Structure 1
């Protein structure tokens, strides 16, 4: 009996040290707060996905009743190979719809033959003080980069983003090497989290997983 009890205590101790991965259902509207977009649900193969409609301003789909601080964020995303009409991302540390951090992709640059545009495939911004225009002007090439391996700009791709302390690393399609590695710029270290659609963009998302850091 004592051996069994000891074994149970060891098991409970080990489980308590594990981070629990959250996999919110994208097809349950009561879990989500949507701003400046209409979002439709659909199924693509084994993906329970959502698709944003197009609007001139950025749109949000935020997870209700959850605060993200640090950890790993994974999701599948799909944009399109249309210049300036596909900005596809994840937002975190959201205080409101004007104050947030965003990591987003420009699929129209993934395979762009323009050697200037291709290194602008993935971007980090911290709003409102550090928009892409300021970061590109003040620190060219530091907060944006090309993606490797290069996904199909019209197809699904997988993104993994680690946010640990001030470090942000962005991985694409299970590559062991990050496509982008930066430090956070905003003053907030926790907030809401969710999907982000840029201006004139109608991205799709699926398979969101959030694993908090221990």
Structure 2
């Protein structure tokens, strides 16, 4: 990674979070509520607000038609580890939320997201649709489900309460993407990216008609 990009990320982290840095690898913890207050999030098709009572120093993205994204300004991500806490809800087709990465803009991005409303389902089809990888604009979920059924979306072993916070860890070493939940050793999703974008913007993602809460974002840059 270009050291100028790393230095820029470090300066931003000192202003808005905390960092442990090396030119080869460094970790940045982002306070999302401070990023929002400092106008360091580029938000598309959503409203954002600090969580009530500064819960977890996180933010909430509102619901709206179509997808929404909040990209972090002046941060470029290539390979590394993305960790954060997220909270959706157990409302059918109203809770899609996760992380966008290697993004050019709100419409051109890769993402890993979760469907909490499927976490406790007894329906055998919905059961395997708990976590999803997408690559927009070429490979939205419905194209992947039609052409590569069950390859880019999976069930989760011991899924969490769909109405409570859960922790996600997404490891990216292009083109490999591996996702873990709540400290589990076995990944809930492991795929190879379909896009040829090896770096780009990083942010929070919500799907059609969905809101979502996000907090405790920590990124390790390789």
Structure 1: stretches of 5+ with no match in the other structure: 1-14
CA contact (8 A) 2:95 2:117 kept: yes
Q: Where do 4+ consecutive residues of structure 1 move more than 3 Å? A: 15-18, 43-46
**Which residue among 59, 62, 76 is the counterpart of 2:85?**
76
Give, in whole Å, the separation in 2 of the partners of 1:205 and 1:173.
15
Q: Structure 1 residues 16, 45: closer, same or farther in 2, change over 3 A?
A: closer
Larger-Rg structure? 1
Give, in whole Å, the separation in 2 of the partners of 1:189 and 1:126.
12
Q: Structure 1 residues 163, 97: closer, same or farther in 2, change over 3 A?
A: same
CA contact (8 A) 2:31 2:58 kept: no
Query: Would you say 1:101 and 2:110 are equivalent positions?
Result: yes
The worse-fitting range, judged by mean Cα deviation, of 43-52 and 61-70 is: 43-52
Give, in whole Å, the separation in 1 of the partners of 2:146 and 2:75.
35
Q: Structure 2 length as normaliser, TM-score? A: 0.86
Give, in whole Å, the separation in 1 of the partners of 2:179 and 2:161.
17
**Which residue among 147, 154, 173 is the counterpart of 2:163?**
154
CA deviation after TM superposition for structure 1 residue 148, in Å: 2.3
Give, in whole Å, the separation in 1 of the partners of 2:135 and 2:25.
27
Counterpart residue number, 2:50:
41
Q: Structure 1 residues 41, 16: closer, same or farther in 2, change over 3 A?
A: closer
CA contact (8 A) 1:148 1:172 kept: no
Structure 2: stretches of 5+ with no match in the other structure: 1-20
